[in-house]
Amino acid sequence: MDAIILAGGYGTRLRPLTYTRPKPLLPVAGRPMIEWVLDRLPPEVSRVIVAVNWKAQALGAYLQNRPGKAARDRRTFIVVKEDEPLGTAGAVKNCEKFLTSDSFFVLNADIVSRMDLGAMLKAHRAARAVGTIALKEVPLADVVNFGVIQPGATTPAGTTTIQGFVEKPKDPALAPSRLINAGAYLLERRVRSLIPAGKMVSMEKEIFPQLIPQGFHGFGIDGPWIDVGDPKRLLDACHTLDAHFKAGPEFRLGDHATFTGSVAGKGCTVRASAHVEGCVLGDGVTVDTGVHLKDCVVGDGEFVRDSATAQRIWTKPVPAGYPASQVGNAL
């Protein structure tokens, strides 16, 4: 069975970390984000098609040569490059010629969770759905950030029929429930023909509504679930997965320096009497003696000389081709 991993976003909300690395390779509690997603794949999945765009080469190189235990993963990886971002459904269409199975998974590359995709596959098959999406219940105030479903009946297969889908409701009062699209879905082959080729198409806005009359189901998931879209949620994900995680290898903390509620990549130094709080540091960052950083995101290789609060710290030019604002959410 095939799984498509959507890994082509720019991750603009995580800049400047994503200036130098594709979002799926940003470390979460010491492992690239995409590894947490690959962990969730059930044994039925033997081929993984990764839809990439920004920093495609870096992601392809990583997948060809995964370190540690991951090197023993016998799955086949196919990296499919988009010349420009095609949106969540356009990316699936672009991978069509590599799909070999009738049912296939589509997974966002930036969801850290313990969702049971094997159970979802069983329920999807038993319900004979055309599409099944993983559903997570979130607090009402959070629904505005996600696609929200209108639930129908519960089926004997353990799924819920979906009667409506509202992508990012403007107000929580407009949301039909607190059940959101958890960024993992199973689709049947015929869904592919609903997606026009060669253009930007949103799965959530343009394709899901068409599935409702054809048998569109949801499958509830339990346990931790974090959409690692912005720095705060990256910190949450690190601390949820490993409450003691602070930094990658070769981390140096000087005398009387503090490093709290923060994470750092590899080879970072926080010099004497510096204080770092609520920050995300990329690889090879140095925070100079006595500097106070609060709620900052610091790009790879930066040397931070001045104290700052709520800043994105990056002193080099923004890489060519990186967008000035979010791309996918504009759809």
Cβ atoms of residues 75 and 30 within 8 Å = no
Q: Does 10 bind ligand GTP (CB under 6 A)?
A: yes
Q: Which is nearer to ligand GTP, 53 or 103 (CB)?
A: 53
Q: Which is nearer to ligand GTP, 106 or 257 (CB)?
A: 106
Closest C-alpha among 223, 266, 252, 251 to residue 31: 266
Distance in angstroms (rounded) separating the CA atoms of residues 215 and 127 = 9
- Of the CA atoms within 13 Å of residue 50, those in its CB half-sphere come to 29
3-state DSSP assignment of residue 52: strand
Partner residues linked to 220 by β-bridges: 135
CB of 248 to ligand GTP, least distance (A): 22
Nearer to ligand GTP, 50 or 238 (CB): 50
Only one residue has tokens 């929580």, namely 172
- Residue 8 near ligand GTP by CB under 6 A: yes
DSSP 158-222: S-EEEEEEEES-SSGGG-S-SEEEEEEEEEEGGGGGGSPTTS---IIIIIHHHHHHHHEEEEE--
Give the one residue of 87, 218, 267, 299 binding ligand GTP; rule: CB under 6 A. 87
Task: Say whether residue 202 binds ligand GTP (CB under 6 A).
Answer: no
| Closer to ligand GTP by Cβ: residue 8 or 60 | 8
> Of 15-74, which residues contact ligand GTP (CB under 6 A)?
23, 51, 53
Residue closer to ligand GTP (CB basis): 24 or 220: 24
Stretch that binds ligand GTP, among 61-69, 141-149, 211-219, 323-331 (CB under 6 A): 323-331
Residue ranges in contact with ligand GTP by CB under 6 A:
6-13, 23, 51, 53, 82, 85-88, 91, 108-110, 229, 326-329
